[in-house]
Amino acid sequence: MHVLQIVGARPQFIKLAPVSAALVAQGHRETIVHTGQHFDEAMSRVFFDELGIPAPAANLEVHSLSHGAMTGRMLEGLERELVARRPDAVIVYGDTDSTLAGALAAVKLGIRCAHVEAGLRSFNRRMPEELNRVAADAVCDLLLAPTDAGLANLEREGLGARAKKVGDVMFDAFRSFGARGDATGVVERLGLARGGFVLATVHRAANTDDVASLTGLFAGLDRVARGGLPVVLPMHPRTRAALLRQGVLPGAVRVIPPASYLEMVGLLRACRAVATDSGGLQKEAYFAGRPCVTLRDETEWVETVACGANVLVGADPGRIVAALAGVDGQARAARFGEPFYGDGHAADAIAAALTA
């Protein structure tokens, strides 16, 4: 088969890596199209280089626009690419504008489209990501769920006939590349003490575009850092722009440039705990056996909360401080190692499902 994969954002590049390798191993021809949603070299090209992903055949260079403009321009460009390249199947990933545009472009042309990470639900329709994933699941032909909870959501929505549980490709990537994170030397380069800092990220539009949320998040993280537990935050370009625009200061939080995948894994394996609004980092914290404090009021990755590895605190400074003060106890009580996310062979199952 000729399989065209559509990606545009950092988490999608990580998911793409094991699937790309599995497609080639199973004898398929692959084309990668990059929408350009994440365009900064530190948020895009370095991931292709580190993870050995083939260079995209095309880059639409659509970025830095409103959701409507982004989705519309991506849809136009992807339709053009699909008509020209005539793949047998399309794969889209996750919950971004690239996901939705890719799904719509494919199905409108009658091309079979598979959605990797189908069935995830936060049940917060104020989040653009929730709307993207719900809409993509509604139109895609093959819904590849990473977890039992995702599969159950699809069945409740009447989409079970198109759904299959395959496991989580980010677990595949972590197993394949995780040990290489320590070799980057990022922990030593930053002068950090292993087990002595919090790794934080903030990038969700629900947090960066709301001045009260952004202020509360950084107030809480600042109090933690001033209290003696360093907080290291690789700064997403969206977050940097929001801090400048809204006049919010990071305080004692140590801001560093965006980290590559291997650098992030190196930091993750060395930290005491994670504080994040990222879905992917919540899972990676679980894979690494690190307690996670999620800077949202809900999560798609409900398994991590149920086993005690993850707590939800929203943007309330007091809750953030209290949760991070208790991470050592959280780590002792959490049930790490449960096989929620498969056996590390999700990519093989995804490639096989395309021809089933």
The Cα–Cα gap between 165 and 152 comes to 10
Give the pair of three-digit tokens for residue 166.
């395959």
Amino acid at 59: N
Helices and strands, number each (H, E), in the chain:
17, 13
Contacts of 314 (CB under 8 A, 6+ apart): 216, 295, 296, 297
Half-sphere exposure of 181 (CA within 13 A, CB side): 23
Return d(Cα 213, Cα 136) in angstroms, integer.
28
Q: Is 203 a catalytic residue?
A: yes
Q: Is 344 left (phi over 0), alpha (psi -120 to 50) or beta?
A: left
| Buried/exposed 27-60: b ≥16 CB within 10 Å, e otherwise | ebebbbbbbbbbbeebbbbbbbebbebeebebbb
Question: From CA 278, how far away is CA 275, in angstroms rounded?
Answer: 9
Cα–Cα dist 3/19, whole Å: 11
341 vs 309: CA distance, rounded Å: 14
Of 34, 115, 203, 236, the active-site residue reads 203
Beta-bridge partner residues of 4: 31, 90
Q: How far is CA 175 from CA 8, 10, 287, 329, 345, in A?
A: 23, 18, 9, 26, 10
List residues with catalytic annotation.
203
